[in-house]
Amino acid sequence: LENTLQSFGVRAKVIHVQSGPTVTRFEVQPEAGVKVSKIISLSDDLALNLAAPLVRIEAPIPGKAALGIEVPNKVVSLVYLREVLEEITYRQSSSPLTVALGKDITGVPVIADLTKMPHLLIAGATGAGKSVCLNTLINSILYKAGPDQVRFMMIDPKVVELSVYNGIPHLLMPVLTDPRKASLALRNMVREMGRRYDLFAGIGVRDIGAYNELTAEEKDLEKLPFIVVLIDELADLMLVSPGEVEDAIARLAQMSRAAGIHLIVATQRPSVDVLTGIIKANITSRIAFTVSSQFDSRTILDMAGAEKLLGRGDMLFYPVGAVKPFRVQGAYVSEAEVKRVTDFIKEQGLVDYENGPSFLDRPEESKEEEADALFGEAVDLVVRTGQASISLLQRRFRIGYTRAARLIDDLERRGIVGPFEGSKPREVLVTQEQAAKICEDFNKQNE
């Protein structure tokens, strides 16, 4: 390597060599006066002289006064998911959303926490390892958390990628394969986020962690699980209803972290009509697998580099707050192993899709819901107190979260309270006289 650089008039010295699962990185220190840009421009010449298919240059290596020249290994070592799950960092993590990604260039396991990301965008060409990565993320969470801690909403327009998870108790509903139903479910997930913030505002907490701590002391409060919304192919959803999907993803990405709702969005079409500016601006943690062009790499990472990856799980991981992406060999889990894990989980408990909010209700088109016997009392309470929240109804009427949330939705639909406005309390829009008239009409309708 030194001789090759010398032949192009670049004086530099190899100061360290690190061998990882996929590539070997040569740490090169150029002599004084040598421009870094000159070494970067020689990547194709270095690949030719080293008989390597691709050479990627990292300039500089973060925290070091050196460049990294990454040369592919002749034999790629598979990184199995089990190796990473056995790592002490993963086992000792208290977060139920801890995920095992793989190993970096030095062979050190890469563990991440979805609660800190707080959303993740995955993109890469067909066959680059995206589907295996999704299975790795899902199984990392399944090993860490029960259905009372984490629930999934899985959207799989390709039908076959995530169908193996149908029937596990962690699912909020069966895997969604119809893009129109998926679009509706995303809009209703925004409503669920609003319900959760209403609940937090009513008892004076700021996020799901503080709320769940209170549930240990207050028996009237139901513990809320984290929700992971996983979209396997964003391009298919954007074809059917781009405006609605983009709006729902943007709203969730902006506000849902404190509510305990996290997004994992994957696509094999990293084009600007799929990964729009709004979606990219709000999902700041990224994983890029190999892509066909530098333009696609810039669409995903806002910089070149992904076009020089090798495929088969070779990725650039760019977590929020990082200066630049770093290279990881993704952990591998086979379809047979995924099947064994899901079969084992299915044996542990029955799936229950009924006990929770419905994400496929179409409020504007649905028939009138069955009248709630507490509606009149709920109207009287919110008008008398001048405030409306799910937690208030739960405490006063000693009812569950789902019923209280439906009452709040009903009050909003009938114009008694205002819409959800983030951290602000809902506004009560009617006087006592108007409320009495609404209750009278309601009672006549339901006699």
Residue scoring higher pLDDT (266 or 421): 266
3-state DSSP helix/strand/coil % of the chain, to nearest 5 = 40, 20, 40
Looking at residue 368, its pLDDT comes to 41
**What number of other Cβ atoms are within 10 A of residue 91's Cβ?**
12
**Domain segments of the chain: what residues?**
2-72, 81-348, 375-445
pTM of the model as a whole: 0.78
pLDDT at 339 over 90: yes
Q: What is the mean pLDDT of residues 107-122?
A: 92
Phi first, then psi, for residue 276 (nearest 5°) are: -70, 165
User: In one letter, which amino acid is 433?
Assistant: E
Highest mean pLDDT among 17-26, 134-143, 311-320: 134-143
> What is the C-alpha to C-alpha distance for residues 112 and 137, in angstroms, rounded to an integer?
10
Of 117, 29, 110, 27, the C-alpha closest to 316 is 110
> How many residues belong to the chain?
447
Highest mean pLDDT among 10-14, 323-327, 337-341, 395-399: 337-341
When pLDDT is cut at 50, 70 and 90, the band that residue 343 belongs to is very high
Q: What is the mean pLDDT of residues 229-235?
A: 91
The residue behind tokens 């002749």 is 74
Beta-carbon contacts of residue 413 (< 8 Å; ≥ 6 apart): 363
> What is the C-alpha to C-alpha distance for residues 103 and 101, in angstroms, rounded to an integer?
7
Spell 420-444 as b/e; 16+ CB within 10 A means b: beeeebbebbbeeeebeebbeebee
C-alpha to C-alpha distances, 247 to 40, 244, 267, 278, nearest whole angstrom: 40, 5, 17, 9
- Kindly give the residue spans of alpha helices, DSSP state H, lying in 261-333: 277-282, 294-301
Tens of pLDDT, residue by residue over 350-359, are 676 655 555 6
**Which fold would CATH assign to domain 2-72?**
Threonyl-tRNA Synthetase; Chain A, domain 2 (3.30.980)
Beta-carbon contacts of residue 214 (< 8 Å; ≥ 6 apart): 203, 205, 221
Crossing angle of helices 335-348 and 130-144, in 10° steps, is 30
**Which fold would CATH assign to domain 375-445?**
Arc Repressor Mutant, subunit A (1.10.10)
Of 158, 312, 311, 133, the C-alpha closest to 239 is 158
Element (H, E) at 26: strand 23-30
Which CATH code for domain 81-348? 3.40.50.300
> What is the C-alpha to C-alpha distance for residues 105 and 310, in angstroms, rounded to an integer?
13
Tens of pLDDT, residue by residue over 350-407, are 676 655 555 655 544 333 445 577 888 888 888 888 888 888 888 888 887 778 888 8
N- to C-terminal Cα separation, the chain: 87
- Residue 14 forms beta bridges with which residues? 28
Q: What is the mean pLDDT of residues 165-193?
A: 90
Per the CB < 8 A criterion, the answer to whether 185 and 172 are in contact is: no
Classified as helix, coil or strand, 187 is helix
Q: What is the mean pLDDT of residues 304-314?
A: 86
Looking at residue 337, its pLDDT comes to 94
User: In one letter, which amino acid is 447?
Assistant: E
Phi first, then psi, for residue 358 (nearest 5°) are: -90, 130
Q: What is the mean pLDDT of residues 98-108?
A: 91
Tens of pLDDT, residue by residue over 271-285, are 888 888 888 888 989
